[in-house]
Structure 1
Amino acid sequence: MKVPRFKTWLARLPSLNEPQRRQVLDALHPAAGLDQVVARIAQARAPGRCCPRCGNERCHRHGFANDLQRFRCCACGRTFNDLSGTPLARLRHKAKWLAYSQVLLDSLSVRKAAERVGVHRNTAFRWRHRFLHWVKLDRPAALNGIVEADEMFLLESQKGSCTLDRPARRRGRSAPMRNISRHLDCILVARDRTGRTIDAVTGRGALTPAQLERDLLPRLDPQALLVSDSRAAYRAFARKHRIAHEAIHLRVGVRGRHLGSRAIHVQNVNAYHQRFKAWLLGFRGVASRYLPNYLGWRWAIDGGRVSSVEHLLCIAIGVINRKR
């Protein structure tokens, strides 16, 4: 709208009655949400923006598309915007992204999220895992001091799959085999006394030293004290890499002890297990292939670490067109 027409339209606003003013506000509300999202994306834009194809940092503005500024690479000629190369690229309805971020903070189910935001339930499900793609990677670089490590097991699920590699079973049934077996997903959780937490879906069945080397060793400070239960995998892992290790014999009723002035127990990580399992019940079962996303989701909201929709959106956007 050109300036003269806009001034004429703006001058007529006081003559609107109450229902008409309400209609105007309802029409402007999505646009206001879109402006907030675009501003948040611009704020998170990295100074070292580069072409997602060739990595060249020289680019120039090249018009607008889908409410975002586009750029053209001076080297290869590729055009891109601030969301190219991110999990949120090509997603529509940007005006509803902040509302959906609030849905994630509230841990709503897919259907309730779709109803609140005003999108289809398939869109709500797709958005959930696109938003969580980089949220699950936002973890501490290292665990220090006393590090508690323990694993929990969940019944493997192929929910949503068109083909199964096993006979179908009703929801809520127990595993076909007792104790730890190939029917259970093993989730390793390590947590230090400051609350920093890392986790990983190591596979199915019992935990092995090779899995600890892959998922725990890169994030474990060499001077840390590893505290675990009496499982042999932890002893072999600590012995091989010369890591200080203390074991708690939970099977014989030992819950903790003191080593000088330090309390040796795994109660912090076990409490985290309980919170995660109780939180997961609200989704009525999740597929095993999506467990890393839910682990990252829980870590993001545990203890109020991510308390605002803007913060969650910035994590979901992640590094924008920046060299890694």
Structure 2
Amino acid sequence: MQQAHWQAFITQFAALSWRQRLDSIALLNGTQRKQAASALIERTAQSRLCCPACRSRHIHRHGHANDLQRYRCVPCGKTFNALTGTPLAHLRHKSLWLDYADCLLNSNSVRKAAQQLGIHRNTSFRWRHRFLTLARTDRPRCLHGITEADEMYLLESEKGARHLQRPARRRGGHARQRGISSEQVCILVARDRTGQTIACVTGKVQLTKKQLLHCLLPVIDRDILLVTDGHAAYAAFARETGISHQAVNLRAGIRVRGAAHVQNVNAYHSRLRGWLSIFHGVATRFLPNYLGWRWILDARRILSAETLLKATLGDFPHMTVT
């Protein structure tokens, strides 16, 4: 290679992603990193390997296919591999999965990830929601101490639907009715002072006590102090469950009453809205996936592509409470 070409070549190194730099090092060392995803999948599956049909662990090796070891169940005769029964089953291009996991951790859009990996945008979209199928379920089991709860509303979106259930509107438009209406989707967010966060979609109507009993009751300690705004549903929920409750009157300008405030959860709302704006509209039916994705990033639960791939296969990192 001529010196001028070499200089032009090395100037592009700064634009390489972390994953691409590792690939470059592996190439120079004569090793193959394209099999890294397959090797990680095999290692992750070993501890719980069993027949997905009958759950028997009496299995034996049954050849290779698509860079993965296949197995045959002795009692029922079914064959399977480490991906059978997981969200990533039947997907191709395993060599790109770690790179795509990096794209998720960087909050890349569907098209940006597709362009970076050289795949079709539909493939990028399919992979996004397959990767988030199990990862989004890795949530705090319980909220402790002072817990703030507040709801936020997003305009309902039928993005990607073939047949709309309402008149079409320009993306990023406004509701036809003023205030809270059936055109908006309610997201309940509860967050304790350690940063543990629960976010769930409650529906297209104003928040009710019944929805709080369904979404909030299973994930809180009974000895918490629930801090909310003046919404009547929270007071009714607290009376029925017997938990301590304190409300701040935001409309009257009372935002803090001693240690009681909802600024922590409102800050999370702000970060969530800003992050969702990256994607230029999120379909309502996929909102739970995005809420789980945001929790992964905000809590820094998953920091590497390898950990995200393992979480997609059901091997979650240990949940720690600070």
TM-score category of the 2 structures, normalised to the smaller one? 0.7 to 0.9
Q: CA deviation at 1:150?
A: 0.7
CA apart distance, 1:74:
2.0
Q: CA deviation at 1:72?
A: 1.3
What amino acid sits opposite 1:301 in the alignment?
Answer: L
Tell me the equivalent position of 1:97.
Answer: 97
SS in 2 for 1:250: coil
Q: Distance in 2 between matches of 1:58 and 1:146?
A: 49
Shift of 1:90: 0.9
Q: Supply the AA of the counterpart residue of 1:245.
A: H
**Cα contact 1:100–1:113 (8 A) shared by 2:** yes
Q: Separation in 1 of the partners of 2:299 and 2:140?
A: 15
User: How far apart, CA to CA, are the structure 1 residues paired with 2:32 and 2:213?
Assistant: 49
Deviation at 1:254, TM superposition (A): 0.9
Secondary structure of the corresponding residue to residue 257 of structure 2? strand
Check if 1:270 corresponds to 2:298.
Answer: no
Matched residue SS, 2:276: helix
Asked whether the equivalents of residues 195 and 299 of structure 2 are also in contact (C-alpha less than 8 Å), the reply is no
Counterpart amino acid of 1:149?
A
Structure 2 CA distance for aligned equivalents of residues 234 and 33 of structure 1: 53
1:311 to 282, 300, 307: 307
1:36: Cα distance to partner? 1.1
Once structures 1 and 2 are overlaid, which stretch shifts more, 106-115 or 41-50? 41-50
Give the aligned partner of residue 173 of structure 1: 173
Provide the TM-score with structure 2 as the length reference.
0.86
Q: Which residue of 2 aligns with 1:87?
A: 87
The answer to whether the 8 Å contact 2:42/2:68 transfers is no
- Counterpart of 1:284? 280
Letter in 1 for 2:283: A
SS at match of 1:72: strand
Q: For 1:104 and 1:70, locate their aligned partners in 2 and report how far apart those are by CA, in whole Å.
A: 29
* Greater CA drift, 120-129 or 304-313: 304-313
Aligned-residue offset at 1:33: 3.5
More displaced stretch, 31-40 vs 101-110: 31-40
Are the aligned partners of 1:187 and 1:202 in contact in 2 as well (CA < 8 Å)? yes
Aligned residues: 291
- Tell me by how many angstroms 1:137 deviates: 0.3
- Give the structure 2 partner of residue 126 of structure 1: 126
278, 295, 318: which one pairs with 2:291? 295
Residue 304 of structure 1 and its aligned partner are, at CA, apart by 3.0
Aligned position for 1:144: 144
**Partner Cα distance (1:110, 1:46) in 2:** 32
Deviation at 1:124, TM superposition (A): 0.4
Residue number in structure 1 paired with 2:32 = 32
Q: Distance in 1 between matches of 2:168 and 2:39?
A: 48
Distance between the aligned counterparts of 1:303 and 1:76, measured in 2? Answer: 43
Q: CA deviation at 1:305?
A: 2.9
The equivalent of 2:162 in structure 1 is 162
Q: d(CA) in 1 for partners of 2:59 and 2:279? A: 44
| 1:11 alignment counterpart | none
Alpha-carbon distance in structure 1 between the residues aligned to 2:112 and 2:237: 44
Tell me: higher relative CO, structure 1 or 2? Use CA pairs within 8 A at least 6 residues apart: 1
The secondary structure found in structure 2 opposite 1:318 is coil
Q: Which residue number in structure 2 is paired with residue 43 of structure 1?
A: 43
Query: Gapped runs of 5+ residues in structure 1?
Result: 1-17, 19-24
Give the gaps of 5 or more residues in structure 2: 1-5, 7-22, 317-322
- Root-mean-square deviation (CA, aligned residues, Å) is 1.8
Letter in 2 for 1:315: A
What per-residue deviation string (whole Å, max 9, x for no partner) do you get for residues 253-291 of structure 1?
A: 111111xxxx11111111010001001111110110011
The alpha carbon displacement at 1:64 in A equals 1.1
Partner of 1:73: 73
Q: Are the equivalent residues in 1 in contact too, given 2:61–2:70 (CA < 8 A)? A: yes
Q: Give the aligned residue type for 1:236.
A: A
Write the distance in 2 (CA, Å) between the matches of 1:88 and 1:33: 20
Distance 1:199 1:138 in 2: 12
CA distance in 2, matches of 1:232, 1:46: 51
Q: Say which SS state the counterpart of residue 45 (structure 1) adopts.
A: helix
Q: Secondary structure at the match of 2:281?
A: coil
Deviation at 1:49, TM superposition (A): 2.4
CA drift at 1:77:
1.2
Q: Distance in 2 between matches of 1:182 and 1:47?
A: 47
Answer yes or no: is the 8 Å Cα contact 1:46–1:319 preserved in 2: no
Structure 2 distance, partners of 1:307, 1:47, is 23
Q: How far does residue 46 in structure 1 lie from its aligned partner after superposition? A: 4.9
Q: Which amino acid aligns with 1:310?
A: E
Partner of 1:109: 109
Can you list the C-alpha shifts for 1:59-106, whole angstroms capped at 9, x where unaligned?
221111111111111221111111111101111000000110111111
